Amino acid sequence: MFLQPTENVSPTVSFLNPCRFKLNSTGGHGRTNLSRVRYSMTEASQKTETLSQPPRVLLRTRGLQKRFGNYEVLRGLDLCVREGSVYGFLGRNGAGKTTTIQILMGIQKSNQGVIDLFGRTAKRPNIAEKRRIGYVSQEQHFYPWMSCRYLGKFVSRFYPTWDQPWFLRLLHTFELPMDRKVINLSQGMKVKLALALALAHRPRILILDEPTSGLDPAARREFLDIVSHQAETEGRTTFFSSHIVEEVARIADHVGIIDRGKLCFQGRPDTLYAGIRGYRPQDPEVWREPARKQALVDRLKAQNLTLLAEEPRQSTLVLEGDSEAWSGVDSHTLTLEDIFLALTTKRIQLA
């Protein structure tokens, strides 16, 4: 087994990255602010992973920052993707998902921070590393004059591990006409072609940048099935970004939620479900009288539960706290979408 290079880093340095504080954390009791609660959640998750000897880290970013002029797209992003995992990178439009992936692929340059890829730390991947990555971009910009077969031939020259028979089999499986030119392919076909190209050289890690955007529901489901199947049968590490919660919930075993250039959660979905839950106050006056609501919030806060968001239409408060904090509270599980919205939409600031 591989050991993570930053195993002994203190958790106070980087509280969002589970890879960094897996053994020496204390559970986060007594912490009340949002980030600390989430820290404890990831920490708890990490505890579980450590006990079962977690696989090695294939991809990690440390303090990734990117600015376009005065606009800060990434504000110290710390990702960690382990071997064999399917990592759903969730964020709203403009949160910085594509920028992150383009930095990972060396298409853009970060202003600060580094990438650990296959054990090497650098600002951007080198050619040998890129040969071990399969990449599907958000929009497919293939040469329109190339046929599927010729495109494969062209791309194959860049990958020593290219498996031509498998590529042809993938084209066949994906029902892609080999001699049809790219210009005549539908959007869904282009995405499948991109996936075939990304898989044909048997990459160590598959990076997908919102691959299903622009696909109809049927094509989206078909695509996700293919990715999921690949991950299961080949054990291929997959890192994919999306703003569609449903597809992340469907296939990801790890989730990273990015909000305004910074991760607000990273870990297993069940950890997330356990840490962020819904609570329906018994007293309906809470929604009409601010003083009563404030009193309730204060009471919950005393129990180490923090209010993330409120859903008056569903008479629900979205609360965050570690597993012990929920004892005695009549809470219910939220969907990933509810949690995602609670984490990424405007926060409620209450004293």
Q: For residue 349, what are its two tokens?
A: 């600031």
Question: At residue 27, what is the residue type?
Answer: G
- Segment lying near other proteins (by CB under 8 A), choices 127-135, 216-224, 305-313, 338-346: 127-135
Q: Does 301 bind other proteins (CB under 8 A)?
A: no
- Segment lying near other proteins (by CB under 8 A), choices 76-84, 128-136, 248-256, 322-330: 128-136
What is the nearest approach in angstroms of other proteins to the Cβ of residue 146?
8
Q: Tell me phi and psi for residue 152, to 5 degrees.
A: -65, -40
Q: Among all chains, which residue has been given the structure tokens 């219910």?
A: 332
- Segment lying near other proteins (by CB under 8 A), choices 133-141, 240-248, 274-282, 329-337: 133-141
Which residue, 125, 240, 140, is CA-closest to 197? 140
Rule CB under 8 A: choose which of 39, 135, 223, 326 binds other proteins: 135
Residues 98-117, one symbol each (x = binds other proteins by CB under 8 A, - = not), give: ----x--xxxxx--------
* Residue closer to other proteins, measured from CB, 2 or 145: 145
Rule CB under 8 A: choose which of 137, 238, 266, 344 binds other proteins: 137
What is the nearest approach in angstroms of other proteins to the Cβ of residue 94?
16
Query: 320-325 — which CB contacts under 8 Å span 24+ positions?
Result: 320/34, 320/37, 320/38, 320/275, 320/276, 321/37, 321/275, 322/27, 322/28, 322/29, 322/37, 322/40, 322/41, 322/44, 322/275, 323/44, 323/274, 323/275, 324/29
Q: Does 246 bind other proteins (CB under 8 A)?
A: no
What is the nearest approach in angstroms of other proteins to the Cβ of residue 68?
7
Q: Does 155 bind other proteins (CB under 8 A)?
A: yes
Residues 6+ apart with CB under 8 A from 47: 22, 25
* Orientation angle between helical segments 187-199 and 148-156, nearest 10 degrees: 30
Q: Does 122 bind other proteins (CB under 8 A)?
A: no
Cβ atoms of 165 and 202 closer than 8 Å: no
Cβ atoms of 211 and 136 closer than 8 Å: yes
Residues 47-106 that bind other proteins (CB under 8 A): 68, 102, 105-106
Q: How far is CA 153 from the centre of its chain?
A: 32
Neighbours of 265 (CB within 10 A): 25
Q: Does 143 bind other proteins (CB under 8 A)?
A: yes
* Residue closer to other proteins, measured from CB, 151 or 272: 151
Q: Does 131 bind other proteins (CB under 8 A)?
A: yes
Cβ atoms of 319 and 279 closer than 8 Å: yes
* Residue closer to other proteins, measured from CB, 2 or 158: 158
What is the nearest approach in angstroms of other proteins to the Cβ of residue 106?
7
What is the nearest approach in angstroms of other proteins to the Cβ of residue 224?
21
Rule CB under 8 A: choose which of 2, 10, 145, 345 binds other proteins: 145
What is the nearest approach in angstroms of other proteins to the Cβ of residue 87?
19
Question: At residue 44, what is the residue type?
Answer: A
Residues 6+ apart with CB under 8 A from 190: 140, 142, 182
Chain residues binding other proteins by CB under 8 A are: 68, 102, 105-109, 127-128, 130-131, 135, 137, 139-145, 154-155, 157-159
